[in-house]
Amino acid sequence: MRWLFLLLFPMAALADEAAKPPDPDEAAYPAIERFVKVLEQVRQRHPDADKVAYDRLVNHALEGMLSSLDPFSTFIHPEMARAMEANPKLDPYLPSLGLTLGLRDDGIYVSNVSPGSPASRAGLLPGSGIKEVDGKPVPEFSPLLDSLRKPPGMKTVMKVKSVAQSQPITVEMVHMAVEDRAVTDARLLEDGTTGYIRLASFMGNCAREMEAALDELEDKGMKHLILDLRGNPGGDLHQTVQILGFFVPPDTAVVTTQGRGGVVQGDPLKTPERQRRTREYPIRVLIDKMSASASELTSGALQDLKRAVIVGETSYGKGSVQNIIPMGGGTMLRLTIATYHTPSGKTPHGKGITPDIKVEMTDADREKLQLSYRKSSLAADEAKLLEGWEDPGMKAALKK
């Protein structure tokens, strides 16, 4: 029996060893070795010698690594980093297309595409290089951004090439409306007691605009509020907390930040200690799949605190914190480092806010909703598209 034990003991020891989870530090070495082997194979064997410089290969590999983490983490190539340093106010995001551009050694490319946007509907893929714009060669970065900031309804045609495509493809996008003001509509509905406010973003002095709109509607007899956050991409977090302070008690914790492993970072953000008016009337908040970031924290907090009924679609799912981190070789990272959480401890990041009352929206409904937001400036043919159309979100929000 002794010999049997001696034979079985090493086998049992090996089984126990195999059952142990791999050491993350030890796993790093074979992974890095594999990367170096691939890098050297590419350098030795790929026929395009002008594409196999170490810096270029590594930077493009880092671009892929960052894009695989989440939609908001990106690698910033040296060319883009220099452009940002030369012009700190440079904004590569084109809200009317839902498109963010980047700059790398082979030219201008698509670094991010917002879901549900004109760019997304056109089939644009992140990482695609831009070959032509409106039938012309691609200009320099800043002039291109300027040329792509077009009024709603205008078209942009791009020829692009992605890794997944054997040949360049041509895509056509129609620019959507981008609001200059935060509060774009504030009125009493026909019943005389229900107020409607559309908050298009949380930028600028949106809290001041919101408070003025609330005061005016309350003075006119508002007893119920419909707050429309559909298509609202978010904005300033401190403005968000101020707006929440209009509807929930003073000094209420509404947002917390958590790092890896759920570790809370810093103190929770609380509503202001003083409240000029007490607002206790019922609220319904409209959201859709393009309501993001601050819109989700607002609707999520009001939902958690039982202060509002949320109506519409599950929201976009951005509740993360990004930092710009300078790296070697003139590069930078835009890296997600934490997530925002509503009072219940939930985060909208990657999940969105689930409405209390779900509303089905077709693509035709979305197009007509965008037209309805700029009803006063529509051309005759555009106005005709709205004839007989009823907003599904508003219809659901008005049901008692």
What is the rounded distance in angstroms from the CA atom of residue 398 to the CA atom of residue 308?
13
Q: What is the mean pLDDT of residues 307-335?
A: 93
Active site amino acids: 293, 304, 318
24 has a pLDDT exceeding 80: no
| Degrees to nearest 5, angle at CA 126 with 315 and 165 | 130
Nearest to 127 by CA among 182, 187, 67, 78: 67
20 has a pLDDT exceeding 60: no
Sequence-ordered alpha helix ranges (H) in 274-334: 294-304
What is the rounded distance in angstroms from the CA atom of residue 319 to the CA atom of residue 341?
7
Domain that holds residue 198: 183-321+337-398
pLDDT band for 127, please (50, 70, 90 cuts). confident
Q: Are residues 83 and 117 in the same domain?
A: yes
242 has a pLDDT exceeding 80: yes
Number of domains in the chain: 2
Residue 119 domain-assigned (yes or no): yes
SS3 content of the chain, % helix, strand, coil (to 5): 35, 25, 40
Tell me, what CATH number does 266's domain have? 3.90.226.10
Q: Are residues 383 and 240 in the same domain?
A: yes
pLDDT tens digits, one per residue of 217-236: 999 999 999 999 998 988 89
396 has a pLDDT exceeding 80: yes
* pLDDT recorded at residue 182: 92
What is the rounded distance in angstroms from the CA atom of residue 164 to the CA atom of residue 290?
26
Q: Are residues 90 and 163 in the same domain?
A: yes
Tell me, what CATH number does 101's domain have? 2.30.42.10
Q: Are residues 198 and 170 in the same domain?
A: no
Using the structure block, give the residue that is written with the tokens 């893929």. Answer: 125
| 56-93: b (≥16 Cβ within 10 Å) or e | ebebbebbeebbeebbbbbbbbbbbbebbeeeeeeebe
Q: Are residues 99 and 202 in the same domain?
A: no
